[in-house]
Amino acid sequence: MDPAERERFDRSSIQVVQWRDGKPEADVRNALDRLAQRVTEVYLHIDMDSLDPRVAPGVVIAPVPGGISLEDMDDAIRTVFARFRVRAVTLAVYDPDHEGDRTLRTALRLIDILADGARVQRH
């Protein structure tokens, strides 16, 4: 997180699960379970610069070394859809001028995962 984001989160009641060296420092599912005790609907915002640069190097802000793997992001998204009604989603900060097809393929995979979650929610 950039310093301004960190400050806003520190002043809020939002729990942040930090990632270091490609691994969460807390249990993501437990954090989402705690949130589910307070809300039933969410807006899901995904910043692609949080992903490991090996799967998404083409982003506006330099990607985070040791960021989230595509598999962990897949699991987190599916966990969100399983616990909440997702009202809207943003997939942000892709910049095709920074890199070739790898980030585009990752973005398209994330869109597929999001579409799967939306289909499951409708049924």
User: Where are the domains positioned within the chain?
Assistant: 3-122
Question: How many angstroms separate the CA atoms of 62 and 22, rounded?
Answer: 16
pLDDT of 88 reads 96
pLDDT reported for residue 123: 66
Give per-10-residue mean pLDDT for the chain (123 aa).
Answer: 82 83 90 93 93 89 84 96 96 82 93 93 74
Q: CA of 89: how far to CAs of 42, 64, 111, in Å?
A: 9, 21, 10
Just give the CATH number of 3-122. 3.40.800.10
Q: In the chain, count of helices (H) and strands (E)?
A: 4, 4
Full-model pTM: 0.87
